Structure 1
């Protein structure tokens, strides 16, 4: 009989069973013993008059612990030989950005500028590999030093690109041996950002640029952002400017702005709407951004109007192509002519023009659009879930509850929360959760970061420096609570709040709180350059994407692409998804650690760090 079963086992496993199978068998036996023991223990304890509730909790904890240990050993045994399967990408992909493949887009039939647009459907099926940093890459300098000085080896930017940039940009940048330095707002550069912002404030009717936030200007979309100098200056005025510029094969403005620790995203509106809901920004700024505004029947201007709040401002600066001494009126025509006629249909009021700067103000009267001759039709319904839809020849937002003029209170009071469909109690509970979560995150990261820190026995681990990370992405932002809690606790960070598509869209609420945010489908790559974020955070994202049938493997490779070397990942999800995530994290060479919050739930934390793979 024994010989019979021996032959059966040999026929299945061979004369020498694989170590992985033996390990799994041993683990399975221990799991079975643990489960039987928990059942026996439950019965015995019930006889000892323990409460039924305590028994159930203890039994569930023991089963979860056994399951977690089983999954951990299973992942180790089944993936031990798969690490070597993940190769490093070639040198040509050091600055790789998916979905922007001009040659493939041309072959797919896109033309008239659309070949430069984002087309993820054309670039699907890419081979998995880990994007390596350039040879001269260095960890960015800590904030706020990193705002004004970046390593030239971290960005794809040449001396020729600096020289070909705008005159103001050239005055504010200096390329040295291995660094690019930027003139801070305290600098004495004539015609710098201080003078420029002061001019904008004067044309709006304010006494100084410091009154811009008081007038209601808190959120600015900076189109063609010129390496982020304007956004950096607005940040010093307690204003949030999001840089947006087209993708460039030779690097560009978005990459430099992000390297400086400023919020930025790749984007344009050649054929599709921007990934923002209507009525999102208090000001749209575009300095020498080379957009032909009267092209496509004014669709570009209509898109600007869509994302602009009532009473918001449009600031356009034209290229200084005229010679010195030319008439001021000639300069005004450079901007005024393409927009002058169309602005009447958009109900924009031209406030002032001076020194190549023109400023319009959008009407706060929703009835204005239907009263104008040759009026542009109104859009049907709301476009809160606007995600790369085709540009539309209609006016948005006039029937929205969020039609609230610039200057009104943005505080999260009951009225404003109800406008966004959020109950005050839910909002308050969310903030309390994130205040506690941020404290826990920092306490968990501290011993990991300072594990080699010399200290005497009994000393507590030192707190991490406030500037150990700057660029943070919340991949499933909900109300933006993580962003708020980080700032409330004094962390000097910039958070990109991402609201996944097919989830309750609270991006209007996030933007109304003065935070940076964007809609995104995580089944696709995020529109940014590699090695951008110091920390990625995702709560419940793996569960959501599993329901959406998105590839979790693709997600982890995308996270590795946009995470800088030595950057951190915090994932909070159900135990099964977290264990699967740890398996993938180990496969792409991350250091990974699962933490049980020990609160009786099935939630786990996965904390990972990406290594610095040097050549």
Structure 2
């Protein structure tokens, strides 16, 4: 009896002891969370640092989704802090210094991809690989600041060897000068025949302008440059306050895109061998191809149809290519009054050949949407589902955009690249219907980012990570206007962060990324004259390593938690595309930011959490990537 009573009593007290032990552990965890949050608070108030919380009408379902995000991050954080300290990830082996995911030619050939598709982007074939940090090459150096970095780059920063340079012909040697460990670019006399300035002046005169400085006034702002060469054309357009975005196919060595990005010019990997580019219809004022290697009369004209999809009404297609070709190809010399295949096809889709000088042809797309119904024999108008498809959808043989509210001819942009209040009022009906954007929230976002930029700019200084109790204050000098050049906004909303950089006269361009699955505001971003692209952040971004000086994201991680993306894979991708000593500014709710801080620690970033101290649950994570060699 005594033995049974004693055992029962011991069992009861044992349960109580275990219960109290678990309760004590839970209290300690909560205390640790509070301590981490308070210790990471800045000593100064960043009253305007909170990312825009734009007014929306939330349904009960959406509120439940938002609460589930908060609960998810709280659970993940509580689970992680009870585990042992997460290990830092190792550096990748030397062969992956220039690693670009989703571009694996040998794997593509194994599944019998051909006709150029083996060089295309195939993220669906991406295998689980070792998680490691892509290291910079041994000769890598921090790029020179803009504008010096536009004309001189370190040869060790790009994958082009001296032997490749010397064997590339006299044209390359006129464009670039290789001296010891530097490559110097000659923008004045580097492109095509008589130099880039003469070339652009010729283009301007062909479309009825007095000089290339009149492009902006004529409505030409956004230019898609297919095959950017060594960036001379894009660099000159930037000096004219135009925004050229270069795309080119993936190259193992001597990459055009890598060279352009290294020079501080907008560029990304892209081609349309079999799939559309990740831009919506009616996105560009001009599409330019100078010996870009595309067989324009191939695939029954589908490449030209893709250009037509991308061009705004009244936009221009510029093609510079050698005239002497085998008979029957794109620019074969005419016999009598016979039209070449491309000339015949462009007439069917209502393009007008404005001018032909030597090797340069210039067409203009019609601004009359009714023309297609009378002249495009055998080419139907696309249905709505085709017009909205712009994220690597298959090439289609139909005319896009004619039913779009954005079917508007090129308009005068003499007031600059950003939309004025009057322009927004004129086109407000389109923005309200297509993108769900209200005037109030559009301008509210602009004002919030404009007031936040000074505080953000003060954070990109190593002082924020120092042990000194003082933090950057109003009396401290801000970093120079050219502190960063290549910037990516990973969740761009309406482009307000980009607009703030322009208003603040910072010498930066922004790749505005609209995540797939969010409200598609990319047309609004492009219509402001900014660069932008659709992208699925569960996949790698199509660019080379060390492409950007700064990555910015507001509210991205809360969204991606619902998309079931791997946060560690995302941070590894961010580290891959960020330059050494580059900056990351992230804003989100406290749970998401604490999770992000732990991932940042794993990939060896310097990281600091800042509390805006305005009573909200928003937090700012500021990170700097160190220069790791081994």
TM-score range, shorter chain: 0.7 to 0.9
Rate the CA distance shift 1:469–1:373 in 2: closer, same or farther, 3 A. closer
Alignment partner of 1:279 is 2:263 = no
Residue 461 to residue 205, structure 1, CA distance change in 2 (3 Å) = same
Q: What SS class does the counterpart of residue 512 from structure 2 fall into?
A: strand
CA-CA distance at 1:518 after TM superposition: 0.5
- CA RMSD in angstroms, aligned pairs only: 3.5
| CA drift at 1:75 | 5.5
1:420 corresponds to which residue? 431
1:388 matched to which residue of 2? 392
- Aligned match for 1:181, one of 184, 205, 208: 184
Partners of 1:525 and 1:149 in 2: CA distance: 29
CA distance in 1, matches of 2:170, 2:189: 19
Name 1:87's counterpart in structure 2.
90
8 Å Cα contact 2:538-2:566 kept in structure 1? yes
Partner of 1:233: 236
Q: Matches of residues 36-185 of structure 1 in structure 2 within 5 Å? A: 78-80=83-85, 82-84=86-88, 86-162=89-165, 169-185=172-188
Q: What is the CA deviation profile of residues 29-64 of structure 1, one whole-angstrom value per residue up to 9, with x for unaligned ones?
A: 747999xxxxxxxxxxxxxxxxxxxxxxxxxxxxxx
Deviations 1:142-193, CA, capped at 9 Å, x for gaps: 1110000111101101345445668655422111111111113499997111
2:543 to 517, 528, 534: 528
**For the Cα contact (< 8 Å) 2:283–2:312, is it kept in 1?**
yes
- Counterparts in 2 of 1:372 and 1:583: CA distance versus 1, 3 Å: same
- 1:73-126 C-alpha deviation (Å, 9 max, x unpaired): 98666352x324x22111110000000001111222322211111000001322
Question: Structure 1's 73 and 445: CA in aligned 2 closer, same or farther, altered over 3 A?
Answer: farther
**Counterpart of 2:124 in 1: which secondary structure?**
coil
- Aligned partner of 1:563 in structure 2 is 578
Within 1, Cα distance between the matches of 2:461 and 2:152?
A: 27
Structure 1 residue corresponding to 2:363, chosen from 343, 360, 364 = 360
State whether residues 83 and 588 of structure 1, in contact with CA within 8 Å, keep that contact through their aligned partners in structure 2: no
Paired position in structure 2 for 1:214? 217
Match of 1:299 in 2: 302
**Partner of residue 440, structure 1:** 455
Q: Which runs of 5+ in 1 are unaligned?
A: 35-67, 323-327
d(CA) in 1 for partners of 2:293 and 2:221? 25
CA distance in 2, matches of 1:361, 1:585: 49
Looking at structure 1, the residues matched to 24 and 189 of structure 2 have their Cα atoms a distance apart, in angstroms, of 64
Q: Secondary structure at the match of 1:418?
A: helix
Distance change >3 Å, CA 506–CA 420, structure 1 → 2: same
CA contact (8 A) 2:213 2:240 kept: yes
**1:605/1:205 Cα in 2 relative to 1: closer, same or farther (>3 Å)?**
same
Structure 2 residue 517 is the aligned partner of structure 1 residue 506:
no
Partner of 1:27: 28
Query: Which residue pairs with 1:604 in the alignment?
Result: 619
Are 2:496 and 1:493 equivalent residues in the alignment? Answer: no
Q: Normalising by the residue count of structure 2, what TM-score does the alignment of the two structures yield?
A: 0.83
Summarize the Cα distance change of 1:164–1:276 in structure 2 as closer, same or farther, 3 Å threshold: farther
User: What corresponds to 2:60 in structure 1?
Assistant: none
The alignment partner of 1:413 has SS state of: helix
Partner of 2:322: 319
1:269 matched to which residue of 2? 272
Q: Which runs of 4+ in 1 moved over 6 A?
A: 5-9, 31-34, 68-74, 186-190
Deviation, 1:461, is 2.3
Counterparts of 2:400 and 2:129, CA distance in 1: 37
SS of 1:433's equivalent? helix
Using the TM superposition, give the Cα deviation of residue 435 of structure 1 relative to its aligned residue in structure 2, in angstroms. 0.8
User: Structure 1 residues 394, 76: closer, same or farther in 2, change over 3 A?
Assistant: same
How many residue pairs align between the two structures?
567
Partner of 2:354: 351
Q: Name 1:398's counterpart in structure 2.
A: 402
Q: Corresponding residue for 1:56?
A: none
Q: TM-score, normalised by structure 1?
A: 0.85
CA-CA distance at 1:434 after TM superposition: 0.8
- Cα gap change, 1:23 to 1:264, in 2 (>3 Å): farther
2:587 aligned residue: 572
Query: Residue 519 of structure 1 aligns to a residue in which SS?
Result: strand
1:555 alignment partner, SS class:
helix
Partner SS, residue 109 of structure 1: coil
Shift of 1:413: 2.0
Match of residue 478 from structure 1: 493
Deviation at 1:341?
A: 1.1
Asked whether the equivalents of residues 23 and 77 of structure 1 are also in contact (C-alpha less than 8 Å), the reply is no
State whether residues 191 and 233 of structure 2, in contact with CA within 8 Å, keep that contact through their aligned partners in structure 1.
no
Find the aligned partners of 2:34 and 2:369 in 1 and give their Cα distance: 70
The one-character-per-residue Cα deviations of 1:272-331 (angstroms, maximum 9, x if unpaired) are: 000000000000000001111111111100001000011100000003769xxxxx9959
Residues 234/33 of structure 1: CA separation in 2 closer, same or farther (3 Å cut): closer
In structure 2, stretches of 5+ residues that fail to align are 1-5, 36-72, 326-330, 414-418
